[in-house]
Amino acid sequence: MLTETGVNTGVFTGSIMTVSAPAVVLNDGTIQVTSATTVTASYIDGIDANLLRNQARTDSVANAAPMMALTKAVSHDSAPPGSEIIYSIAFRNAGAAAAHTVVIMDAVPAFTRYVPGSMRLGLANSSYDAAAVLTDVADADAGTLNGTLIMFLIHSVAANDGVDLSGTDEGKVFFKVVIE
The residue that leads in pLDDT, 117 or 13, is 117
Whether the Cβ atoms of residue 123 and residue 103 lie closer than 8 Å to each other: no
Q: Give pLDDT tens digits for 13-36.
A: 666 555 555 555 666 666 566 655
Q: Which of 163, 176, 166, 158 is nearest to 124 (CA)?
A: 166
The residue that leads in pLDDT, 65 or 11, is 65
55 and 72 both lie in a single domain: no
Give the end of a domain, one of 31, 62, 93.
62
Whether the Cβ atoms of residue 43 and residue 1 lie closer than 8 Å to each other: no
Query: In angstroms, how far is the first alpha carbon of the chain from the final one?
Result: 65
Q: Could you give the number of structural domains in the chain?
A: 2
Look up the domain containing 58 and give its range. Answer: 2-62
103 and 72 both lie in a single domain: yes
Report CA-CA distances (Å) from 138 to 35, 55, 142: 32, 60, 8
Q: Which of 118, 119, 106, 112 is nearest to 178 (CA)?
A: 112
8 and 94 both lie in a single domain: no
116 and 169 both lie in a single domain: yes
Read off the pLDDT band of 124 (50, 70, 90). very high
Read off the pLDDT band of 179 (50, 70, 90). very high
